[in-house]
Amino acid sequence: MADSSRFAGIRCVIVTPEKTILDTTARGVILPLEDGRLGIGRGHAPFIGRLGAGEVRIATGDGREAGQRVFVERGFVEVGHDTVTVVTQQAIPAEKLDLSKARASLAGITAKPATGDEAIDAKLAAQQAAREVVRIAGRVR
Tens of pLDDT, residues 119-135: 999 999 999 999 999 99
From residue 23, how far is each of 10, 34, 101, 107 by CA, in Å?
11, 23, 27, 33
State which H helix or E strand residue 71 sits in.
strand 68-80
CA angle 92, 86, 105 (to 5 degrees): 30
Which pTM was predicted?
A: 0.81
Distance CA(119)–CA(94), nearest Å, equals: 29
Q: Which CATH number fits domain 4-94: 2.30.110.10, 2.60.15.10, 3.30.70.20, 3.40.1360.10?
A: 2.60.15.10
**Structure confidence by residue, pLDDT tens digits, 50-105:** 999 999 999 876 554 568 899 999 899 999 988 999 999 999 999 999 999 999 99
**Spatial separation of the C-alpha atoms in residues 116 and 1, rounded to whole Å:** 56
